[in-house]
Amino acid sequence: MKMHNPPHPGVILREMYIEPLGINITEAAFALHISRQTLSELVNCHIGVSVEMAIRLSRAFKSTPEYWLNLQNQYDLWHAINEKDFGGITQICAAAA
């Protein structure tokens, strides 16, 4: 099922993981072995979740890398479809049935 304007993974990280645990960005960054600036950029939606970051987040928060990468993919895909013009693309072959 398609989601309408999915949240950035940084919002999920902040609101569902960091804030409920009562830790701050500095503490979370230390636990993840990344800089405070990098984590701040992620939770403020300035950067996305990379494969490496997905592994770090999965280990720190008992999830899977796929979870974080899927959140990022949903966010990126929705924004690409809704913010870019793909109208000039010509169909090369018929879609498989």
Q: For residue 42, what are its two tokens? A: 């992620």
SS3 36: helix
What percentage of the chain exceeds 70 in pLDDT? Answer: 94
Phi then psi dihedrals of residue 48, to 5 deg: -100, 180
Residue 95 has pLDDT above 80, yes or no: no
Residue 1 has pLDDT above 60, yes or no: no
pLDDT band at 66 (very low <50, low <70, confident <90, very high): very high
Instruction: Give the model confidence (pLDDT) of 20-65 as tens digits.
Output: 999 999 999 999 999 999 999 999 999 999 999 999 999 999 999 9
User: Rounded distance, CA 32 to CA 20, Å?
Assistant: 17
Domains of the chain: 9-79 (1.10.260.40)
pTM equals 0.87
